[in-house]
Amino acid sequence: MCELETSDVERGRPPAVQRRRLLQGAGGALAAAGLLGTGFAAPASAAPSRPANGAAAELILLGTQAGPPVEPDRMGISTALVVDGATYLIDCGRGATTQYLRAGLRFDDLKAVFLTHLHADHVADYYNIFLMAGGLPNSRDDVITTPVQVYGPGPAGALPAKFGGGQAPTVNPGNPTPGTYELTQSCHDAYAYSTNVFLRDSGIADIRTLVDVREIRLPDVGADPLGQRAPAMNPFPVMEDDRVRVSAVLVPHGPVFPSFAFRFETAYGSVTFSGDTTYTSNLETLARGSDLLVHEAVNVQGATLSPAFRSHLLQSHVEVQNVGAIAQRSDVPRLILSHIGDQAVRPINTARWRRWAQQGYDGRVHIGNDLDRIPLT
Ligand SMILES: [Zn+2]
Ligand SMILES: [Zn+2]
């Protein structure tokens, strides 16, 4: 584990400056774009109030691995944002359910789940959380008892052509691009026998009442699953409660549609999650002025890749050597790398990665490891 300490610059930042940074963020962009609708109040009044009880906000990197291959040193991508004791999960990769507990979090504090996109490495443990932690209480008397909101992509609507040409098989051709809602319903159906037995034998909660899926509605910016998947756009509102205000943009992630980056505003500061993305100005627009940027990265230097595959990979991801410049342009003082993939060396050399990520960046870089805890301010 690694505790990041608040820098002198951060610690010494006067409240007025903190406030200004909040207002300069995604909310400000939203207001400028006229995208603030009902239910998503103007930033001047919508910043969640900071309680006087000393509670705080932190990030916990539950898993930091890029991609589905099972590796022993890193769990699948998943991050917990804890605000005043309430937990928000961003992606649910392999092992997220166990890591959640290892981090000392309680399932009955889980408020909402945000899925950046529906690649398996981001959703492998999504249904598991409800299946395993929504039934019988564990030894800590912890179980999900109230509905958890799930914000994720709707159906893509179309499949891309096969990389390299030719034909690929199609699973479930009658409905080959289910979104978050149908994914969840299908899991309910697939686990019906186990759930029905437990409902009769142990009196567990009906899992269907614990998952409250809300597919993210796209603004009308001309996005197309087979064309411009992430056209230039302003951030748009996704969710707001008494602790967080969440906005999003579309990001380009190879053939995947939709793929989101999220920004969370809290009373303690703001954090932007890149999701899986190659370079895009949309991410910089969203992240501008955040206190923290959690960004994905890959390394291809020293790797034996065909030019075609290398190009293919970099249409979906950002090279670690370029991520610092993104943070610099976004005016973000702290950069956290998670969703880490090195095509040449394993396990990754964090010292080398830190040097790479620092290129062109004046702020502080942290190369994420599983269960790292990072105070928001
Ligand atoms: Zn991924
Ligand atoms: Zn992905």
pLDDT(39) > 50: no
| Helix (H/G/I), strand (E/B), else coil: 336 | strand
Structural contact between residues 179 and 156, judged by C-beta atoms closer than 8 angstroms: yes
pLDDT(2) > 90: no
Give residue 27 CA to ligand 2 midpoint distance, Å: 26
| Ligand in closest contact with the CA of 124 | 1
Give residue 339 CA to ligand 1 midpoint distance, Å: 7
Give residue 256 CA to ligand 2 midpoint distance, Å: 7
Examine residue 163 and state whether it is found in any structural domain, yes or no: no
CA-derived radius of gyration, the chain: 20
- Structural domain that includes position 295: 10-37+44-158+177-375
Greater confidence (361 vs 12) lies with: 361
Q: For 123-163, how does the pLDDT look when each residue is reduced to its tens digit (9 = 90+)?
A: 999 999 999 999 999 999 999 999 999 999 999 999 999 99
* Confidence bin at 36 (pLDDT 50/70/90): very low
CA 92 to chain centre: 9
Examine residue 169 and state whether it is found in any structural domain, yes or no: no
Examine residue 171 and state whether it is found in any structural domain, yes or no: no
Give residue 275 CA to ligand 2 midpoint distance, Å: 8
Torsions phi, psi for 165 (to 5 deg): 90, 175
Give residue 68 CA to ligand 2 midpoint distance, Å: 9
Return the CATH number at 234.
3.60.15.10
* Confidence bin at 48 (pLDDT 50/70/90): low
Q: How many domains does the chain have?
A: 1
Q: What is the average pLDDT across 171-188?
A: 98
Give residue 145 CA to ligand 2 midpoint distance, Å: 30
Examine residue 167 and state whether it is found in any structural domain, yes or no: no
Examine residue 168 and state whether it is found in any structural domain, yes or no: no
Examine residue 198 and state whether it is found in any structural domain, yes or no: yes
| Ligand in closest contact with the CA of 93 | 1
Residues paired with 113 in a beta bridge = 89, 150
Examine residue 166 and state whether it is found in any structural domain, yes or no: no
Give residue 18 CA to ligand 1 midpoint distance, Å: 32
Where b means 16+ CB within 10 Å and e means fewer, 46-66 reads ebbeeeeeeebbbbbbbbbbb
| Ligand in closest contact with the CA of 260 | 2
| Ligand in closest contact with the CA of 119 | 2
Give residue 67 CA to ligand 2 midpoint distance, Å: 7
Examine residue 172 and state whether it is found in any structural domain, yes or no: no
Q: For 67-103, how does the pLDDT look when each residue is reduced to its tens digit (9 = 90+)?
A: 999 999 999 999 999 999 999 999 999 999 999 999 9
pLDDT at residue number 9: 27
